Amino acid sequence: MNSLRIVWRITRLNFRAQLEYRAEFLLNVAIGAIWQVSVIVFATVLLARFTGMGGWDSSEVLLIPASRMLAHGLFVLVLGRLHGIGRQIQDGRIDIYLMRPMPVERQVQLAWFPTNAIGDLTVAVGLMAGALSRSELDWTAARIGYLVAALVGGMLLEAALFMVVASASLRFPAADYWGSWLEQLFGTFGGYPLNVLPKAVGGFLTYGLPLAFIAYLPVAVLTGHVHGSGVPYWLAASSPLLGILGYLLSRVLWRWSLRHYTGVNG
């Protein structure tokens, strides 16, 4: 409880510090929203020009980018400071964090408040509301519960992937560029039914880099399209659990990497 109070107090102070410069605060919120314009354009074109994609109707497809964006917005808000940790390593900040009586990862997460996450979440919530209003699914308590679990699992799976990059950055600071590569892949392929891609690409984004488990496969479970994904139903339905497992394993890797960290200059 004491740790939670400290986290809450630091987060509140960081947020108040951002509010000291109101124009910059609003600009950062706007940047977070503008960053998602491409997804909004995709959704608009999809609904206006096409009846579906890859055997999915347009209302079902819309659930994929909505889920992807909402999980991503939660990641940016809660755990997103892992992205770009390589820059902090290169600046020698990790060495300072190691001297303080608080876990390094927690210090990284509390370094600043991600104002742009407000813009991300605003757009994501709006897109999800639009997707749900157009959906013809019967939103039972079980479906709603699974959707919530899938969003949390997607957030944790994205965090796990960036935690792996952060762990690699402790040994090879230039590995931080992999984070930018991951972000581009998520933005490019995260909002589409992966069965429209060549099988080799879809297989890589499922079993090599598990992007499919963040939004595509959970939505396929909800809409009954798992049969066209090439993934066993039990595995697709386990997406939220895979997110939790992946995050826990990535934390083990992070702790191991941190124990073997020798400093920014080796």
| Residue 172 belongs to a domain | yes
Residue 190 reports pLDDT greater than 70: yes
| Mean pLDDT estimate for the chain | 85
| Residue 197 belongs to a domain | yes
Residue 39 reports pLDDT greater than 80: no
Residue 3 reports pLDDT greater than 90: no
Distance separating alpha carbons of residues 49 and 180, to the nearest angstrom: 32
- Prediction pTM value: 0.87
| Residue 264 belongs to a domain | no
At 167-187, the pLDDT tens digits run 888 888 777 778 888 888 887
| Residue 214 belongs to a domain | yes
| Residue 29 belongs to a domain | yes
Residue 114 reports pLDDT greater than 80: yes
Residue 98 reports pLDDT greater than 60: yes
The larger pLDDT score, comparing residue 41 to residue 205, is at 205
For the chain, how big is the Rg over CA atoms in Å? 19
- 1-5, 108-112, 116-120: which has the minimum mean pLDDT? 1-5
Question: Where does the pLDDT of residue 47 fall: very low under 50, low under 70, confident under 90, or very high at 90 and above?
Answer: low
Percent of the chain with pLDDT over 90: 27
Average pLDDT (217-227) is: 92
- Residue 96's pLDDT is what? 84
Distance separating alpha carbons of residues 20 and 149, to the nearest angstrom: 36
- Residue 177's pLDDT is what? 79
Nearest to 67 by CA among 208, 240, 230: 240
Number of compact structural domains in the chain: 1
Average pLDDT (30-41) is: 72
Distance separating alpha carbons of residues 114 and 32, to the nearest angstrom: 10
The larger pLDDT score, comparing residue 208 to residue 47, is at 208
| Residue 266 belongs to a domain | no
- Residue 222's pLDDT is what? 93
- Residue 246's pLDDT is what? 95
- Residue 251's pLDDT is what? 93
| Residue 265 belongs to a domain | no
Question: Where does the pLDDT of residue 108 fall: very low under 50, low under 70, confident under 90, or very high at 90 and above?
Answer: confident
- Residue 143's pLDDT is what? 93
- Non-local CB neighbours of 211 within 8 Å, separated by 6+ positions: 185, 186, 189, 190, 194, 205
| Residue 98 belongs to a domain | yes
DSSP string of the chain, one letter each residue: -HHHHHHHHHHHHHHHHHHTSHHHHHHHHHHHHHTTHHHHHHHHHHHHH-SEETTEEHHHHHHHHHHHHHHHHHHHHHTGGGTTHHHHHHTTHHHHHTTSSS-HHHHHHTSS--THHHHHHHHHHHHHHHHHHH--S---HHHHHHHHHHHHHHHHHHHHHHHHHHHHHHH-GGGHHHHHHHHHHHHHHTTS-GGGS-HHHHHIIIIIS-GGGTTHHHHHHHHT-GGGTTS-HHHHHTHHHHHHHHHHHHHHHHHHHHHT---TT-
Domain that holds residue 163: 2-259
At 121-149, the pLDDT tens digits run 888 888 898 889 888 889 999 999 999 99
Instruction: Work out the number of other CB atoms within 10 angstroms of the CB of residue 87.
Output: 13
